[in-house]
Amino acid sequence: MVKVSVVIPVYNQKRFLCGAVGSALAQDAEKELIIIDDASPDGAGVFLFERLLAKFPVRIQKDTAEEKRLSVTAYGMTTEVSIVLLPQNGGVSAARNLGTKLAAGEYVAFLDADDRFRKGKLAAQLARMEGSDAAFCCTGRRMLSYDGKPTGHEIGTPERITEQTLHHGNCVNCSSVLIRRELMLAYPMEHDEVHEDYLTWLRILSDHPYAAGIDEALIDYRSSARGKSGSKVKSLGMNLKTFRVAGYGRIKSFIMLCGYIVGGIKKYMPKKH
């Protein structure tokens, strides 16, 4: 029985995709992987398929222009892997939503194609979520440079996250989230023009008491100046737009933006030991 469906959207990240998939395959959990290639010009999905065939024992179940499906035996486990090849780009929200719809697991875990799970990530989150009424679970992260080298900096997360917590900044990294599939289906991602994941967590926690955080760096997060948060000025504007799309008024949104600035400064300060 599949416990976790790991959904990996990819667009032009062939360089990093195999590392992300390898980190998910190595997780000690009953899982499947769903890779959504969002019409990548670099052919990331097909490249991954060929690399899996070359590196691991596999059994091909489907091989068409629209989907590659195979059973991969790696790290002492056999994992079902689906690579969906979209004919045209629809954006990261649509890719994650499609992956969630296709998922067979009780839980969905998101992983961006340039990030990586660290050892024990899914097992720790499943242990935290089982029997819990938390809406979802996220973890801390270890920061990497664009070329994949650890920067020596880690960003933690509160162990209990509420809507009010998110008013002071987004402490939920999307690649760290484990969430029940039914809940994610009820709150699909949208509005790629803003921080679509932040918007989703705000909406979920406006209706649910809290999310659980594991204050341990269980993912490797790759910094990129080309991402939405690469420019701090741009990110400020997008956060303000995110608050407005979420339904907060002008004054409340401005107050939240001030909280985001303060929280951002604290987030990148060295941890006290």
Does residue 181 contact residue 108 with C-beta atoms inside 8 Å? yes
For residue 62 the two structure tokens come to: 């489907």
What is d(CA 264, CA 43) in angstroms, rounded to the nearest whole number? 36
The rounded distance, in Å, linking the Cα atoms of 270 and 273 is 9
Domain layout of the chain by residue ranges: 4-225
- One CATH from 3.40.605.10, 3.90.550.10, 3.40.50.2300, 3.40.50.720 for 4-225: 3.90.550.10
Q: Which residue has the tokens 């938390």?
A: 134
Query: Packing angle between helix 232-245 and helix 250-267, nearest 10 degrees?
Result: 140
User: In 3D, which of 110, 105, 106, 104 has the Cα closest to residue 36?
Assistant: 110
Alpha helices in 40-175 (DSSP H): 44-55, 92-102, 121-129, 163-166
| Strand 77-85 with 31-37, pairing | parallel
Strands (DSSP E) found in 95-166: 107-110, 116-117, 136-144, 150-155, 160-161
Rounded Cα distance, 67 and 37, in Å = 10
Supply angle C-alpha 33, 35, 37, rounded to 5.
175
User: Tokens in use for 229?
Assistant: 């948060």
Report the distance separating Cα 187 and Cα 157, nearest Å: 22
- What gap in Å lies between CA 241 and CA 194, rounded to an integer? 6
Instruction: Kindly list the averaged pLDDT for each block of 10 residues, start to end, along the chain of length 273.
Output: 96 96 98 98 98 98 98 97 98 98 98 98 97 97 94 96 94 97 98 96 98 98 66 77 90 84 64 51
Q: With beta carbons less than 8 A apart as the criterion, state whether 40 and 11 touch.
A: yes
**Where do runs of H (alpha helix) occur along the chain?**
14-25, 44-55, 92-102, 121-129, 163-166, 181-186, 196-207, 232-245, 250-267
pLDDT score recorded for residue 232: 63
